[in-house]
Structure 1
Amino acid sequence: MEDLLCKIRDCRVCSAHLPLGPRPIVEANKNSRIVLISQAPGRIVHETGIAWNDQSGKKLREWLDVDKSTFYNTDNFAILPMGFCYPGKGKTGDLPPRKECAPLWHEEVWKELENTRLKILIGSYAANYYLGKKSNLTQKVQEYEQFLPDYWTIPHPSPVNRFWRSKNPWFEEQIVPQLQRKVKEILSR
């Protein structure tokens, strides 16, 4: 696994398209129990080199009900974005993840993981890649049980996504407590 992570971190496939240059962000070990599959690192994460080291990460840890030491322990959580590098700024947030990363690297990472109990799909890019585009993100979040035991879809925790959360209060009221129970159950084994 370490050799593979080094290869990913050295990847320069799409460097010509990255405004701040390549800095692939990925964390895992063969025993990671929960894999967090999201879109791409933001600017702050790119600058610090620490995954989910921003307001989105703070909200995600709140939703998962874990502290930083639990979150950053790769025995607990692997971090596998759809795009490993910061893609740049768009009109209403960051640009979409680069399309080269997931097809190039995800399957290789899955081959190395031996103890995964749950894959949390964070946002529409991850959900559409792994579950298809037949339904929208809201439907996938509402119908999370139909994708268990393998996948659990949640919205992206970015502050930019606050409008989705305000229109869908059921997510934090009903789904988040169930997600927290599932995470606790997996991490306590």
Structure 2
Amino acid sequence: MSDDLQSLIEDMRQCRLCEAEMERAPNPIFQLSDSARILVAGQAPGNLADTTGTPFNDPSGDRLRDWMGVSREEFYDRSKLAILPMGLCFPGYDAKGGDIPPMKRCADVWRQQVLDLLPRIEVVLLVGGYAQRWHLGRRVEKTLTATVANWKSYTSDRMFTLPHPSWRNTAWLKRNPWFEADVLPDLRRAIRSALSGS
């Protein structure tokens, strides 16, 4: 790993910028290596990720790995797969028990610095609306459904637009069967190609 990336990782792990606004102590959770070929651009760590220190270490992660067609071992191989959420720490819960949005400061401070040090990325998974808005900018559609439905327009930039794999989106998946039928086969092929280095 480059000295620049290693130094940045150490700085990120010590980040306390949002401490005064958080329910829990800051606990930045991510997975990075400059040899990674796949980038999972997520939202923010959930409760189980926060308590275990492992990103996507929950049922959402199981569903995401199924979508990708990868094993846990492949998913957590940092030499091949980077995980960089929009917010590095678990943001806490809202009044209804859902996760509150990622802390905005994370992306402003860290995101572009990290991306500039990941030269081998071949496939980017934009998981959820926050990642899609940041990475796509003006190209994002008015709704997440429209952005995901327009997925083919982003694959030329090696990006796949995905809904969040949370159980809360199970109804969305049932209403939009085209996602599993049309998007996932192409996603799995792209992932497999990136993992094999071909």
Distance in 2 separating the partners of 1:85 and 1:7: 14
Distance in 2 separating the partners of 1:92 and 1:160: 12
Give how far 1:175 is off: 1.0
Q: Any conservation in 2 of the 1:5–1:26 contact (CA below 8 Å)? A: no
**What is the aligned counterpart of 2:56 among 28, 48, 52?**
52
Give how far 1:177 is off: 1.5
Give how far 1:92 is off: 5.3
Paired-residue identity, %: 39
Give how far 1:135 is off: 3.0
Deviation >6 Å, runs of 4+: none
Distance in 2 separating the partners of 1:175 and 1:92: 30
2:114 maps to what in 1? 109
Give how far 1:134 is off: 3.9
TM-score by length of 2: 0.92
Letter in 1 for 2:90: Y
- 1:49-95 CA-partner distances (Å, limit 9, x unpaired): 00110000000000000001110011221000000000011225210
3-state secondary structure, aligned to 1:153: strand
Distance in 1 separating the partners of 2:190 and 2:115: 21
Distance in 1 separating the partners of 2:12 and 2:52: 17
Distance in 2 separating the partners of 1:158 and 1:38: 12
Distance in 2 separating the partners of 1:82 and 1:30: 18
3-state secondary structure, aligned to 1:44: helix
Superposition map of 1:121-160 within 5 A: 121-132=126-137, 133-148=140-155, 149-160=157-168
Superposed CA RMSD in Å reads 1.2
1:37 maps to what in 2? 41
Which sections of structure 2, spanning at least 5 residues, go unmatched? none
**What is the aligned counterpart of 1:168 among 176, 187, 191?**
176
Letter in 2 for 1:15: E
**1:187 and 2:187 matched:** no
Distance in 2 separating the partners of 1:135 and 1:95: 21
Number of positions where the alignment pairs a residue of Structure 1 with one of Structure 2: 189
**What is the aligned counterpart of 1:76 among 69, 74, 80?**
80
**1:8 and 2:15 matched:** no
3-state secondary structure, aligned to 1:20: coil
In terms of mean alpha carbon deviation, does 134-143 or 150-159 score higher?
134-143
Q: Any conservation in 1 of the 2:141–2:147 contact (CA below 8 Å)? A: no
TM-score by length of 1: 0.96
Distance in 2 separating the partners of 1:27 and 1:64: 17
2:26 maps to what in 1? 22
Letter in 1 for 2:110: W
Letter in 2 for 1:156: H
Distance in 1 separating the partners of 2:41 and 2:82: 8
3-state secondary structure, aligned to 2:104: coil
Which sections of structure 1, spanning at least 5 residues, go unmatched? none
Q: Any conservation in 2 of the 1:5–1:27 contact (CA below 8 Å)? A: no
3-state secondary structure, aligned to 2:54: coil
In terms of mean alpha carbon deviation, does 125-134 or 53-62 score higher?
125-134
2:123 maps to what in 1? 118
